[in-house]
Structure 1
Amino acid sequence: MPTQLNYRSQVLSELGATPEEITELLAYNQNNFNHPKLPPNITFPLASEPHVTEWKRYHAQAQSLGTFTTLRSALVQLQFPIRLGISETENYRAATRQGNPADSMVEATGLELEQPESLQLIIHPTLAGEVPILIAGCRADFIVLVQALSKRNEPVSIPDSMGAIAISGFNNWQRIKKYRTEWETHQEQPVTETEWKAEFQRLIPQKHLYQDFFIILSQGNYSAVNAAELGLDEAEWLLLCLTIRLEHECCHYFTKRVFGSMRNNILDELIADYQGIVAANHNYYRADWFLRFVGLEAFPNYRQGGRLENYCGNPPLSDGAFRILQVLVKQAAQNLEQFNISHIEELKSLENKARLIMFLTSCTLEELATKTGVLLEQMWQRYTM
């Protein structure tokens, strides 16, 4: 709305942004979370999505067969190696796009993991419903799992800064085959291939019946920050990193499912890291942790290689606009820390944890970054009335 736009422009102007930089940042910081479509009686946690039922079956099988063995038979991509050009072969396309059995395909020599016995599958409860989580046993296994399940088994470079990935819209051919079996049992006559193809076309728009959402996590330093930098024991820090990474990705799942948005934007990262940090730190938020994660621990100096540069927009922000963004991020993190301290008891309930995500996703970065944080407090009070 115009008054909000004017306010945001004023905040940016007071920080020294030029008219051109204000235009850039207003566009970059535009809030894309779709709040108006939320039903008025929404309650949390939400019911789990349909695909979780199948993943719970995988989890049960994995208790006796092992996680990797179970998933290799369920997810066809795990039956192929990582190899340049494999995604363009006829057999690979037939297996992954048409659901043809890969058993006799010459290319299907299987995905190789360094520590297959260490691969874990958990079904994690979140405010947006349960989520299947794969935890790789080592960095090398995380990379090949990401390449197989999100890069069509191609040896695409995976940046060192990536420690987790959310896989959305994954076509699960095992679920499609189960759908076909159930559909055929309800037909009065034997089904021809032509009839199945017609039914398959009717199935395609119903993505909830065959597309999955799951998360792959690595084990290691979060945002390339080591224990010594935070004055922590290494083993303790690695456990905290896994929690931060897990809850960060689950927050992205919440915004995707509830608001239809999961972006490569610093506001999304600020909110998701907030959720990860409070989960790892007894409900307390640490602005200094977040600022180190994004490369702003020595503000006003920015550490090259920090995570913040991964969220510069497309096209990227100009150097001047990026410097203003750093100020916004620093002030927003500090305001969030003070807000968290002031409401620590209130924010422990599931209802208010969900309400806080909904509140933060209704704000813009400029509003979160007001110098005193007074506006943030006022907006929260109005939001919870």
Structure 2
Amino acid sequence: METTLSSLALKEESDGLSKELELYFQNKFSSQKAQPNSLLIDEPYISSWESYATDAIGGNAFSILKMCYPQLNFPIEEGINKTEDYINTVLKGKNTTVKRENTLNLIDPEGIEINIFESVAGKVPVIKVPNNQDFKQIIQSLLYKNNPISVPDSMGAVLINGINNWHRLHSLKQDWLANNPLENWNEEFAKNVLPNSELFKDRIIILSTKSYSNVSANSLAISESQWKLYSYSIRLEHECTHLLTLKKYGCASNNLHDELIADYVGITKTIGYYNMDWMLAFMGLENYPIYRKGARLENYLGSSDLSFENFEKLTRIIKNAIANIAGFDEELGKIDSASDQIARIDALCKVSVLEIASENGKYLLLSKYKEARMYCYD
């Protein structure tokens, strides 16, 4: 019965879609790749970051970050990643302690914080960057190799997966050489370190403190101070949801399916229920069918140059999906445990966006949720 409804739902929403949109809306969360919840444990790098967090108290966070990620010692400059100094320092780990006259020029480096957040996916390092311009520069440095690539105002957080931590790698080398003074580090690195990237790569979350999705407090009819607190909480829970899908399904992509799931958790964990009006505003659809140009929805279309007709279809699908997610949340009520939260995420992962947006979307989500609850324990 459920398989039939799922097939009908896909047919209902796929009719008339371009091949480009059909491909875009393919579900990338594979049940075959899913890991059991028991594997959502803390990873080896967390102990290093717990020490960093302690050492960062008192305004030292940015100095610690520069020690871990030497690209933060370089300015934002077109093509700088192709210079010999950058390649030797950032890619080869040489000269990481050299002080440079021309470096990243932050406005409030002392305001940066390092915290360890305990999420449903395990502990994760969280870098809080209060100044918006500083946030953009750090993103340009860590994501775009210090090139001045534009960062949208609607972007306020990022989960960085698999970034080299040169402090961890140098510490590993020093410890190994101390215990193996007559051995060859290069051979050890090639044989036992390089194949085990968890020894030197990090997963970190970088958060700004600006209004979520660049949506103003006034437009949501709440106070600035309350919206600032809400925005930070939504953003944190949002990125932790990406971390969970990455660890459990091996997938956390720049796609509207991922965003619908992560925003669902961010909103519900922050205010206790899913606010459909907020979600529509986050996507620029508060006045649907009119779309607010420049809204966050555009951040997830990549290089797609959709026709007016296809963009209209996409916004209709997202609007319907949001409505059915609201019905799903209303049926279940407030999230009451980690297993409840994970089961809801599982349901949203296993039902494609086209299925969620269909007439039977709410039913399909509830069915997958009940199935997930059978295998999910606190």
Whether TM exceeds 0.5 here: the answer is yes
TM-score (norm 1): 0.89
Give, as a single letter, the amino acid of the residue that structure 1 aligns with 2:188: E
Counterpart in the other structure of 1:298: 287
Q: Which whole-Å deviations, capped at 9, do the CAs of 1:270-289 have from their partners, x for residues lacking one?
A: 001111111221x2110110
* Residue equivalent to 2:189: 200
Structure 1 match to 2:310: 321
Where 2:105 maps in the other structure, the secondary structure is: coil
Letter in 1 for 2:308: D
- The answer as to whether partners of 2:169 and 2:200 remain within 8 angstroms in 1 is yes
Contact 1:225–1:292 (Cα < 8 Å) also in 2: yes
The reply on whether 1:190 has 2:158 as its aligned counterpart is: no
**Cα 1:65–1:218 shift into 2, 3 Å:** closer
Q: Residue 384 and residue 94 in structure 1: after superposition, are their counterparts in 2 closer, same or farther (change >3 A)?
A: same
What SS does the corresponding residue of 2:38 show, helix, strand or coil? coil
**Which residue of structure 1 lines up, in the alignment, with residue 30 of structure 2?**
34
Aligned match of 1:356: 344
Gap change, CA 1:143 and 1:23, over 3 Å in 2: closer
* Residue 379 of structure 1: how far off its partner (Å): 3.8
2:239 match: 249
Task: Look up the SS of the partner of 2:158 in the other structure.
Answer: strand
Identity of aligned residues (%): 36
- Aligned with 1:261: secondary structure? coil
2:300 paired with 1:311: yes
In the TM superposition, what is the alpha-carbon distance from 1:108 to its structure 2 partner?
5.8
Partner of 1:341: 330
Q: Do 2:347 and 2:365's aligned partners in 1 also have CA atoms closer than 8 Å?
A: no
> Are residues 371 and 34 of structure 1, via their aligned partners in 2, closer, same or farther at CA, if it must alter by over 3 Å?
closer
1:7 alignment partner in structure 2: 8
Residue 66 (structure 1) aligned with residue 60 (structure 2): yes
- Listed one character per residue, the Cα deviations across residues 21-76 of structure 1 (whole Å, up to 9, x for unaligned) are 25443322111113223345x338x2212111111111111125621233233332
Give the 3 Å change call, closer, same or farther, for CA 89–32 of structure 1 in structure 2: same
C-alpha root-mean-square deviation of aligned residues, in Å? 2.3
What amino acid sits opposite 1:113 in the alignment? Answer: L
Mapped to 2, the partners of 1:155 and 1:23 lie a distance apart of 33
1:334–1:117: structure 2 CA closer, same or farther, 3 Å change rule? Answer: same
Give the Cα–Cα distance (whole angstroms) in 1 for the partners of residues 67 and 21 of structure 2: 47
The equivalent position to 1:155 in structure 2, one of 118, 131, 148, is: 148
Correspondent of 1:125 among 106, 113, 118: 118
- In the aligned structure 2, how far is the partner of 1:225 from the partner of 1:137? 17
Cα shift readout 1:260-313 (whole Å, capped 9, x = no counterpart): 1111111111001111111221x2110110001101111122222222233235
Q: Which amino acid aligns with 2:75?
A: P
CA 1:238 to 1:100, structure 2 compared with 1: closer, same or farther past 3 Å? same
Aligned to 1:101: 95
For 2:25 and 2:152, the matched residues in 1 are separated by: 25
The answer on 1:78 being equivalent to 2:67 is no
Residues 292-340 of structure 1: CA distance to partner in whole angstroms, max 9, x if unpaired?
1101111122222222233235544443232222222112211211221
Q: How many pairs are equivalent?
A: 371
Q: What amino acid is aligned across from residue 302 of structure 1 in structure 2?
A: Y
| 1:71–1:24 distance in 2 versus 1, CA, 3 Å | closer
Find the aligned partners of 1:140 and 1:81 in 2 and give their Cα distance: 14
3-state SS in 1 of match to 2:127: strand
- The 1:304–1:315 alpha-carbon spacing in structure 2 relative to 1, beyond 3 Å, is closer
The one-character-per-residue Cα deviations of 1:178-203 (angstroms, maximum 9, x if unpaired) are 1112222332x534xxx222222222
Alignment-mate amino acid for residue 12 of structure 1: E
SS at match of 1:348: coil
| Distance in structure 1 (CA, Å) of the matches to 2:370 and 2:305 | 35
Q: 1:9–1:26: 8 Å Cα contact kept in structure 2?
A: no
**With structure 2 as the length reference, what TM-score do the two structures score?**
0.90
Listed as ranges, the gaps of 5+ residues in structure 1 are none
Which residue of 84, 87, 92 maps to 2:86? 92
CA contact (8 A) 2:168 2:200 kept: yes
Letter in structure 2 aligned against 1:75: Y
2:46/2:123 contact within 8 Å kept: yes
Whether contact under 8 Å (1:94, 1:100) holds in the other structure is: yes
Selected match of 1:115 from 93, 104, 108: 108
Label 1:310 to 1:91 Cα distance change in 2 as closer, same or farther (>3 A). closer
Shift of 1:159: 1.9
Give the residue type in structure 2 aligned to 1:204: L
User: Which amino acid letter does the alignment assign opposite residue 33 of structure 2?
Assistant: K
Query: Aligned equivalents of 2:274 and 2:165: distance in 1?
Result: 38
